[in-house]
Structure 1
Amino acid sequence: MLTKYENILVPVDGSKEAKLAFNKAVEVAKNNGSAIHMVHVIDTRAFQNISSFDSSMIDEATDNVKKTLDEYLKQANDAGVTNIDYSIEYGAPKVVIAKEMPKRYHTDVIVMGATGLSAFERLVMGSVTDYVSKYAPCDVLIVRTDASNQASQN
């Protein structure tokens, strides 16, 4: 028997992989009548080492992320998914996605891209996807294909 997912969490970071995950989550939501909560986590650790840091940098990043999330929201609505919202969070993406968000939104599946970082960032910071798959309290669907289950073209 297949589980019917009711609350889908989709982390988006602007990467091609996150877009594939978002598209897959929209299809799952349409087929199951699920709610989607999108989240983008602004990694505040990235700003800690900038000597000329000022809060306008975070404000600008937040504004850019909001535009992207609004576009995704419109796309989901156009596809017939209306039970969708988003939040912009601040902190360590691994922890926010794996531990904080599933509790807050009663998530039963996290749908995320296989990777959104460069090889160097994965080496230094570790893969967010890897961490989430190990520590999330719910199912994690790691997306490598498009909504038609076709391998993505690189």
Structure 2
Amino acid sequence: MDYKKVMVPLDGSDNSELAFNRAMEFVSEPGTSLYLVHVIDTMPLVGNYGVVSGDLFYDLSERAREYLTQMKEKAEKLGAKNVSIHVRFGNPKTVIAKDFVDEYHIDLIVIGSTGLNAVERILVGSVAEYVNRHAKVDVMIIKK
């Protein structure tokens, strides 16, 4: 199957960068677009701090943008032609599995598996697991 719009959620982890490397296999063809996405989870911020200053959100988004810019440059060096970066706020599970997919008509998500232990998986579940179950497009989960 030819994938034209490939999304790679990146969080700076080794597994997300493995997913990035694997996605490069799909995006060297002309007409293929690569979407590098970082989602800043707002729930832990609000839950832990109550009211959160705009400066914190700005700092987090700037750091994410710098990281994604580095990854975009790497993708272009590896032959990707149409690379865009996106920083979003919200629940990573729904932003990746639904919101971004619908907005940009993504047809493949390449995502790294998470390093959750058994208890964490039971309590919160992994983002990759949620995306795999709820996305309406093909999902490739890359394991270490």
1:126 Cα deviation from its structure 2 partner: 1.6
> What secondary structure is seen at the aligned counterpart in 1 of 2:140?
strand
Q: Which residue of the partner structure matches residue 22 of structure 1? A: 20
> Aligned ranges for residues 5-154 of structure 1 at < 5 Å?
5-30=3-28, 34-49=32-47, 50-51=49-50, 53-115=52-114, 118-119=116-117, 122-144=121-143, 152=144
> What secondary structure is seen at the aligned counterpart in 1 of 2:27?
helix
* Identical pairs, percent: 34
- 8 Å CA contact retained: 1:20, 1:143: yes
1:114 Cα deviation from its structure 2 partner: 1.1
1:122 Cα deviation from its structure 2 partner: 4.0
Q: Which residue of the partner structure matches residue 2 of structure 2? A: 4
Instruction: List per-residue Cα deviations over 1:102-150 (Å, max 9, x = no partner).
Output: 11111111000011x5436545432110000001010000112xxxxxx
* Deviates further, 30-39 or 93-102: 30-39
Unmatched 5+ stretches in structure 2: none
How many residue pairs end up in the alignment? 142
TM-score (norm 1): 0.85
1:34 Cα deviation from its structure 2 partner: 2.1
Q: Distance in 2 between matches of 1:140 and 1:68?
A: 23
- 8 Å CA contact retained: 1:21, 1:143: yes
> What secondary structure is seen at the aligned counterpart in 2 of 1:73?
helix
TM-score (norm 2): 0.90
- 8 Å CA contact retained: 1:12, 1:18: yes
Aligned Cα RMSD in Å? 1.8
Residue identity in the other structure for 2:15: E
Residue identity in the other structure for 1:86: I
Residue identity in the other structure for 1:45: M
1:59 Cα deviation from its structure 2 partner: 1.0
Q: Distance in 2 between matches of 1:53 and 1:106?
A: 32
> What secondary structure is seen at the aligned counterpart in 1 of 2:89?
strand
Q: Distance in 1 between matches of 2:58 and 2:116?
A: 24
Q: Distance in 2 between matches of 1:134 and 1:54?
A: 34
